[in-house]
Amino acid sequence: MLGLLLLPLLWPLQHFSERYYRQSLEEQNRQTLDLYVANLLGTLHRYEVLPPILADLPPLRALLANPGDGGLQAAANQVLAAVRQDTGADVIYLMSPSGITLGSSNWDQPDSFVGRNFAYRPYFREALAGNQGRFFGLGTTSRKRGYFFASPVRDGQRIVGILVVKVDLDDAETLWGKTPEQLMVTDANGVVIISSRSDWRFHATRPLDNAERAAIVANQPYPTQAPPPLALEERAWITQSRELTETGLTASILAPRQLIDRQVSTTVAIGGAVLLALLLLLGLLMQRRRHYLDRIALDAQARRELEMRVLERTQDLEALNSRLKDEVLEREQAQQELVRAQDELVQAGKLSALGTMSASISHELNQPLAAIRSYADNAGVLLDHQRIGDARGNLQQISELTGRMASIIAHLRAFARRDRHAPESVALQPALDDALALLAKRRRAMDVELIRDLPDAPLWVQAGETRLRQVLGNLLANALDALAERPQPRRIWISAETTGDGVALHLRDNGPGFSEEALRRAREPFFTTKTSTQGLGLGLAICDSLMRALGGELVFANHPEGGALLTLRLRNAAPGVIPQPPEDLTA
């Protein structure tokens, strides 16, 4: 009888408390979901910009131009591995237009992607169509989950390759603590890809149609081609979802309904106890008025305490909401600061490149200008002796040197644009003779003995004629600089040998040689052991860059008998036409 009397009074209390606690839980879960989505999107956006930036790296473009070159492949692998180490990406790899992986950051791992064909992946097809590819999938090689960003590598309007960055999504689950609420991220097929519960992964949250099943079989995003359904009792969970439109993902947070039921039961129990107390007090009022008044006072005190606890709980939730909003604001401000810092870094890089270009032009024109002065002085002497023909020859050499200066400037401009010149067949001996002729007057003035050990037959190599002379002139000038402070005898040895895949030219002097620091830093721009009036430290750095652009190699070492030993390794080329030898500058 008493229960039937309390039932109509407790039903409104139950309804009100359930709505109140449900709204409070949903608001708290919404804020938690917003924070998690912001973290997930921040992680994906950080790697989304990587493929277009990395697509311009010279080692990667060189590998796409010569996919069968093992040396270029090794260099590209090292670059990708270094970028992966710096950025924290899972794997970065370069694919040909046919889908074959040419280079990868995991080239030295058992699950290396090198040589594998991923043309069946959607991100490859989207990038090959000229768009940025996005895709979630389980690696067929590594068996690890990841989100893939793919970008086309263009040569003009032509797509010559695809660069892919894979982001590890395992860390996205570690952000979720051990709470009653559960995390779930689904893809466009409604399949769970991230979850705080491992037994939910790769289960379908809705029925899949035939087109979706066919796409799953073709793209292989999951460990199974038929994801089993996720059997969840809807009444047991309170679900809130947020769509990540640009990624095609949906993040959801599921709270057990027991969290609300427990609080509602507690509230109803307290309310029932209060009502029961009221009824008992009313019954006792008829017996004892004093006892009834005392009961009323106790009941009022109990209600005040309950309201106080509810108020305190509300204030705690408001404080938590305020802190979450402040954290989101701080993250947005940090992101803006990062964008500004990146813009400043790009501007600093442009200024640095401009300074290097100016210094390079000044350094490379010094030698032709010195030769022009020598020819002009000799021409004056020849005119005084009425040697008109010889003077005309010197003037012709001055004209050729000015043309060479224009060629050097054009080459440096093209080099700054990362231009690509097709190698041509160049005879090594005439190019070496030309470089020696430019330095003949200085060598004889220093009384430097030249010892040559070169074959009579021309050695044909793949190079650019102007660039090869530029390299030889710089190396010979550095050898003369090294001998300037050495007492007699002063010697320079020049020898060449043919190898299995090219020609090796050795330049040796009996100067002081390289120090250990110079051997380590010889290729660095602006590193020099000379004074500021003797050099800028750009010669060897430019020579090394030109040799690599020609497909060759410049090796620095010390000879066992003393002095520096520099070796130029060039590739073989088909015989061509030998240009006319230059006139002797000492005439």
Identify the top-confidence range among 135-139, 430-434, 574-578.
430-434
Under the banding of pLDDT at 50, 70 and 90, the label for residue 586 is very low
The closest of 71, 232, 149, 133 to 571, measured between CA atoms, is 71
Q: What is the pLDDT of residues 5-58, one digit of tens each?
A: 567 767 787 778 888 888 888 888 888 888 888 888 887 888 888 898 888 899
**238 & 249 share domain:** yes
Distance of CA 330 to the CA centre of its chain: 26
CA angle, 574 then 577 then 580, to 5°: 145
CATH no. for residue 472? 3.30.565.10
**443 & 521 share domain:** yes
Q: What is the Cα–Cα distance from 214 to 225, expressed in whole angstroms?
A: 9
pTM of the model: 0.42
Cβ neighbours for 256, distance < 8 A, ≥ 6 positions apart:
180, 181, 236, 237, 238
Per the domain annotation, does 396 fall within a domain? Answer: no
Q: What is the pLDDT of residues 85-99, one digit of tens each?
A: 998 888 999 999 999
The pair of three-digit structure tokens given for residue 156, joined into one six-digit string: 């003009």
**122 & 134 share domain:** yes
**137 & 121 share domain:** yes
Q: Which residue has the higher pLDDT, 46 or 505?
A: 505
Q: What is the pLDDT of residues 270-284, one digit of tens each?
A: 877 887 788 788 888
**58 & 89 share domain:** yes
Q: What is the Cα–Cα distance from 450 to 107, expressed in whole angstroms?
A: 47
**439 & 544 share domain:** yes
Per the domain annotation, does 395 fall within a domain? Answer: no
Q: What is the Cα–Cα distance from 258 to 237, expressed in whole angstroms?
A: 8
Q: What is the Cα–Cα distance from 30 to 37, expressed in whole angstroms?
A: 10
The residue-averaged pLDDT of 553-579 equals 85
Per the domain annotation, does 349 fall within a domain? Answer: no
The closest of 198, 215, 194, 236 to 43, measured between CA atoms, is 194
Task: Indicate left, alpha or beta for 313 from its phi (over 0: left) and psi (-120 to 50: alpha).
Answer: alpha
The pair of three-digit structure tokens given for residue 380, joined into one six-digit string: 């004056």
Q: What is the pLDDT of residues 181-217, one digit of tens each?
A: 888 888 888 888 788 787 888 888 888 888 888 888 8
Cβ contacts of 103-111, under 8 Å, gap ≥ 24:
103/60, 103/63, 103/73, 103/76, 103/77, 104/77, 104/80, 105/77, 105/80, 105/81, 106/81, 106/142, 107/77, 107/80, 107/81, 108/77, 108/81, 111/139, 111/141, 111/142
Q: Strand (E) positions, 169-318? A: 182-186, 192-195, 237-244, 249-256
Among residues 259, 278, 311, the one where a domain terminates is 259
Kind and range of the H or E element at 494? Answer: strand 490-498
The closest of 264, 275, 262 to 3, measured between CA atoms, is 275
The closest of 13, 242, 54, 243 to 151, measured between CA atoms, is 54
- Torsion of Cα atoms, 351 then 354 then 355 then 359, to 10°: 170
**163 & 282 share domain:** no
Q: Could you tell me if 375 and 585 are in contact, meaning their C-beta atoms sit under 8 angstroms apart?
A: yes
Q: Could you tell me if 151 and 127 are in contact, meaning their C-beta atoms sit under 8 angstroms apart?
A: yes
Q: What are phi and psi of 118, to 5 degrees?
A: -115, 30
**From 268-282, 293-307, 462-476, 526-540, the region with the lowest mean pLDDT:** 526-540
Q: Could you tell me if 167 and 91 are in contact, meaning their C-beta atoms sit under 8 angstroms apart?
A: no
Per the domain annotation, does 365 fall within a domain? Answer: no
Per the domain annotation, does 381 fall within a domain? Answer: no
Per the domain annotation, does 411 fall within a domain? Answer: no
The pair of three-digit structure tokens given for residue 387, joined into one six-digit string: 């040697």
Q: Could you tell me if 483 and 446 are in contact, meaning their C-beta atoms sit under 8 angstroms apart?
A: yes
Q: What is the Cα–Cα distance from 294 to 464, expressed in whole angstroms?
A: 108
**465 & 565 share domain:** yes
How large is the greatest C-alpha to C-alpha distance in the chain, in angstroms? 149
Q: What is the Cα–Cα distance from 250 to 194, expressed in whole angstroms?
A: 10
At residue 2, the pLDDT reads 56
CATH no. for residue 108? 3.30.450.20
**37 & 87 share domain:** no
The pair of three-digit structure tokens given for residue 220, joined into one six-digit string: 């292989």
Q: Could you tell me if 391 and 379 are in contact, meaning their C-beta atoms sit under 8 angstroms apart?
A: yes
Question: Which residues, in sequence order, are bridge partners of residue 138?
Answer: 145
What range does the domain containing 193 cover? 2-48+171-259
Q: Strand (E) positions, 350-468? A: 424-427, 448-453, 460-463
Q: What is the pLDDT of residues 226-250, one digit of tens each?
A: 888 888 877 888 888 888 877 778 8
At residue 416, the pLDDT reads 44
Q: Could you tell me if 238 and 255 are in contact, meaning their C-beta atoms sit under 8 angstroms apart?
A: yes
Cβ neighbours for 322, distance < 8 A, ≥ 6 positions apart:
none
At residue 83, the pLDDT reads 92
Q: What is the pLDDT of residues 277-334, one digit of tens each?
A: 887 888 888 888 888 888 898 889 998 999 999 998 889 888 988 899 989 998 888 8
At residue 365, the pLDDT reads 73
Per the domain annotation, does 439 fall within a domain? Answer: yes
Among residues 133, 168, 203, the one where a domain terminates is 168
**439 & 555 share domain:** yes
| Three-class secondary structure of residue 170 per DSSP | helix
The closest of 188, 173, 291, 208 to 249, measured between CA atoms, is 188
**The pairing of beta strand 448-453 with beta strand 490-498:** parallel
Q: How many folded domains does the chain comprise?
A: 4
At residue 100, the pLDDT reads 94
Q: What is the Cα–Cα distance from 555 to 544, expressed in whole angstroms?
A: 9
**446 & 560 share domain:** yes
Kind and range of the H or E element at 557? Answer: strand 553-558
**276 & 310 share domain:** yes
Among residues 259, 291, 318, the one where a domain terminates is 259
Taking 3-state DSSP, the helix, strand and coil percentages for the chain, each rounded to the nearest 5, stand at 55, 20, 30
**From 1-15, 292-306, 377-391, 424-438, the region with the lowest mean pLDDT:** 1-15
At residue 413, the pLDDT reads 53
Per the domain annotation, does 519 fall within a domain? Answer: yes
The closest of 153, 156, 136 to 102, measured between CA atoms, is 153
- In a 13 Å sphere around the CA of 130, the CA atoms on its Cβ side amount to 4
Cβ neighbours for 108, distance < 8 A, ≥ 6 positions apart:
77, 81
**The pairing of beta strand 158-168 with beta strand 145-155:** antiparallel
- Average pLDDT of the chain? 81
Cβ neighbours for 132, distance < 8 A, ≥ 6 positions apart:
48, 51, 52, 126, 149, 150, 151
